[in-house]
């Protein structure tokens, strides 16, 4: 289980030539770090569905969100899991509030669930994994009692479903591959965060195809998996936008 050793441990040795500069404010840096990790887990879900040709009964975006929530619970110590969940949920909330303030129409047509649906789904899975331990968190984050009653069953179904699909992926199998970082991990704090995750995940899972993980400018705040190139890309503009949305809506300033 991992603790969320932020800033100094994850990217304290960042090189001079980096395309994104982590904010000096520790809370803002923690918020960015949490959302980078959660987003990376989400895109990993898309990669696993593609490379392993996994069946998806429902929307793939929801399945990827579910894997992200599971990895947060299963791979991190309690305090770190709480930080990751709160920060990721707060990003959904902040983007939703911004959309309402700007008068944007809700994107019912989009392949993703609405931001506030993603907010409550994440909290439900987080709470459902440890309902006795996380009852206060669920209350603080506004999870309705009617939904909370079903969350332990929702978590167990999610854990059983993804767990069954990932069985037999232990590393060391002949002909197996893993995740590969493209670039110098010391050149960018976002790449270093994802490189730490790649190291840990490669100790647990092997893949029939290599998947490359990279950070690059994309022209828009985004992160995505490319099936044709077998790449997970985290856009530098997204990291910058996370700082913006934190300062505008999460920090309370």
Identify the residue with better confidence: 188 or 71. Answer: 71
The per-residue pLDDT for 109 is 39
Both structure tokens of 8: 């100094």
Residue 252's pLDDT is what? 53
Report whether pLDDT(243) > 50: yes
Residue 178: CB atoms within 10 Å: 18
Name 10's Cβ contacts closer than 8 Å, sequence gap at least 6: 33, 189, 192, 193, 196
Q: What average pLDDT score do residues 192-197 get?
A: 95
CA distances to 125, 134, 207 from 180, rounded to whole Å, are: 29, 35, 11
User: For the chain, what percent of residues have pLDDT higher than 90?
Assistant: 70
CA 212 – CA 199 distance, rounded (Å): 13
Q: How far is CA 154 from CA 98, 126, 128, in A?
A: 29, 10, 7
The pLDDT assigned to 227 comes to 96
The residue-averaged pLDDT of 169-195 equals 85
How far is it, in rounded angstroms, from Cα 252 to Cα 81? 23
What is the total residue count of the chain? Answer: 253
Please provide the DSSP assignment of 212-229 as one string. Answer: EEEEE--SSS-EEEETTT
What is the domain partition of the chain in residue ranges? 22-250
Cα separation, 248 vs 253, whole angstroms: 7
* pLDDT value, residue 94: 94
CB 118 within 8 A of CB 91: no
Please give the distance of CA 41 from its chain centroid, rounded to a whole number: 4
Residue 49 pLDDT more than 90? yes
- Cα–Cα distance, 206 to 179 (Å, whole number): 8
Distance between CA 164 and CA 178 in Å, rounded? Answer: 19
Q: What is the average per-residue pLDDT within 49-73?
A: 93
Instruction: Give the chain's end-to-end CA distance (angstroms, integer).
Output: 34
| Residue 184 to residue 13: CA distance in whole angstroms | 12
User: Residue 99 — pLDDT band, cuts 50, 70, 90?
Assistant: confident
Average pLDDT over residues 163-172: 85
- Sorting pLDDT into bands at 50, 70 and 90, what band is 250? low
Whether 128 has a pLDDT exceeding 80, the answer reads yes
Q: How do residues 146-160 score in pLDDT, each as one tens digit? A: 999 999 999 999 999
Instruction: Report the 10 Å Cβ neighbour count for 9.
Output: 12
């Amino acid at each position: 289980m991992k603790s969320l050793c932020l800033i100094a441990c994850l990217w304290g040795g960042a090189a001079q030539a980096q395309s994104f500069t982590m904010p000096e404010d520790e809370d803002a840096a923690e918020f960015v770090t949490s959302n980078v990790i959660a987003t990376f887990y989400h895109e990993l879900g898309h990669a696993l569905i593609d490379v392993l040709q996994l069946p998806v009964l429902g929307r793939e975006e929801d399945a990827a969100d579910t894997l992200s929530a599971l990895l947060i619970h299963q791979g991190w110590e309690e305090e770190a899991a709480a930080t990751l969940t709160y920060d990721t949920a707060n990003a959904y909330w902040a983007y939703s509030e911004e959309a309402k303030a700007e008068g944007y129409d809700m994107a019912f047509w989009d392949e993703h669930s609405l931001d506030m649906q993603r907010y409550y789904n994440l909290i439900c899975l987080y709470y459902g994994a440890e309902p006795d331990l996380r009852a206060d968190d669920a209350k603080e984050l506004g999870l309705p009692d009617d939904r909370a009653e079903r969350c332990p069953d929702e978590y167990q179904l999610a854990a059983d479903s993804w767990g069954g699909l990932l069985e037999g992926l232990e590393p060391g199998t002949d002909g197996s591959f893993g995740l590969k970082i493209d670039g110098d991990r010391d050149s960018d704090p976002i790449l270093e965060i994802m490189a730490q995750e790649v190291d840990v995940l490669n100790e647990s899972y092997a893949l029939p195809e290599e998947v490359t993980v990279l950070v690059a400018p994309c022209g828009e705040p985004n992160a995505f998996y490319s099936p044709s190139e077998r790449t997970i890309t985290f856009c530098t503009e997204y990291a910058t936008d996370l700082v913006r949305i934190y300062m505008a809506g999460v920090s309370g300033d």
